[in-house]
Amino acid sequence: MITGPRQQFVARATQRGYTLDEVRPCIVAQDGDTITVDETHPAYPRPRGPSLAQRAVNLAAAAAQHVAAGIPLADQAEIDRRFAVCQQCEHFDGSACSQCGCPVVRERQWRSKLSWAEQACPVGKWGAVGDKQANRH
């Protein structure tokens, strides 16, 4: 639950790209200018992530890096470790990363950045295979 002045919620919604009207179904209490919002409510707006065009640019850059590195794949244990980190991340929307837009897939597939050994989390929560500094989570 988040409690605060209405203006705080208007500013927060604007900053995140949605309106207070989209949050209205999640308001569980209101006392004058103070409102309480249940951010775990299914209707609570989630970060929208990068646009389709930006996701395409991100994918192209990651794919070029992947090919240049020789198309190395992580083993299933590493994919599982990365997946577990992503599931706990505030940027995970249930199926994708809201920072880079990449799908978060546990299976060892070419389309999942989690399986590309040389790739790293855009916010530094996991790094390339062998990068001990970035793999501390």
Structure tokens at 1: 């639950």
Q: Which amino acid is at 136?
A: R
Tens of pLDDT, residue by residue over 98-131, are 898 888 887 766 667 899 999 999 999 999 997 6
CA distance 86 to 98: 11
pLDDT of residue 131: 64
pLDDT of residue 72: 93
**Boundaries of every domain in the chain:** 2-37, 52-115
Tens of pLDDT, residue by residue over 67-97, are 999 999 999 899 999 999 998 988 887 788 8
pLDDT of residue 49: 78
Closest CA to 113 of 93, 130, 134, 96: 96
Tens of pLDDT, residue by residue over 6-22, are 888 888 777 667 788 88
